[in-house]
Amino acid sequence: MRKTVAGYLIHSITAFGAIAGLISLEEFINGDIQSGLLWLIICQIIDGFDGPIARRIDIHLHATRFDGHILDLVVDYVTCVMVPVAMLIRLDLLNNKFSFLYCAAIIFTGALWFARTDQETEDHWFNGFPAAWNLVIPTFIILDTKESYVQLIILTLCVLSLTKLKFPHLVKVEFMRGLTWTLALVYFISLTWLSVQYPNGPDSIKPVLSLFPLYIFAISIYHSWKVRERGVVSAND
């Protein structure tokens, strides 16, 4: 009984992530960028903790009325794709005649990625960029990224979301876990602090927001190359 109650409570917390995303969107619409960023960070915190807790209590055995995996995908699509795209539009980060196409590309490829049947490998690497626009767009905002760079990064990530380039699941992947967790923690603390201080955050911290994505790309490329290399060797054998 206790685990059943706990299971439905976790489902409710996961679903609340969508409400937090709505609040974030409302704050951006009202022009309160700082509050919008902080509510989006709350979404990220919920997304980071509900899954491990659900697995620990075997939620699929005790709260069976709802499918936690489907619920998580629905909420993630709202908070990781739809809300960041709305931010992109509201703040005019793409102030040109093609801005709609860039936003449409994010929504289109994001929908396809969340529907992938090969979304995650057995060793917990994501196939393709995992539609983490809830990190990408706030980073654009805080770093005041040039429009040309925003366009290039959006196009690159949209294409990569449909590939088999392996991106690490930050919680589950064992490869270089210690370094990954350390850099992820530093990135998240920096993102939170710069959001609290927005738009007057210290410039000395801002480079951290670029370091972590570059690290993720580096290990993604390395692991993908190793997987491909093992496949070639197996084929030759």
DSSP string, 58-103: THHHH-TTS-HHHHHHHHHHIIIIIHHHHHHHHTTSS-STTHHHHH
User: Quick check: helix, strand or coil at residue 144?
Assistant: coil
Closest CA to 48 of 169, 182, 199, 192: 169
Least Cα distance to 132 among 191, 186, 178, 92 occurs for 191
Q: For the chain, what are the domain ranges?
A: 2-236
Q: Is the pLDDT higher at 53 or at 32?
A: 32
Write out the CATH class of domain 2-236: mainly alpha
Residue 233: pLDDT over 70: no
Answer yes or no: is pLDDT of 146 > 80.
Answer: yes
In which region does residue 58 sit, left (phi positive, over 0), alpha (psi from -120 to 50) or beta (all else)? left
Residue 45 pLDDT more than 60?
Answer: yes
Dist. CA 66–CA 54, nearest whole Å: 12
Indicate if the pLDDT at residue 159 is higher than 90.
yes
Q: Give the pLDDT of residue 62.
A: 67
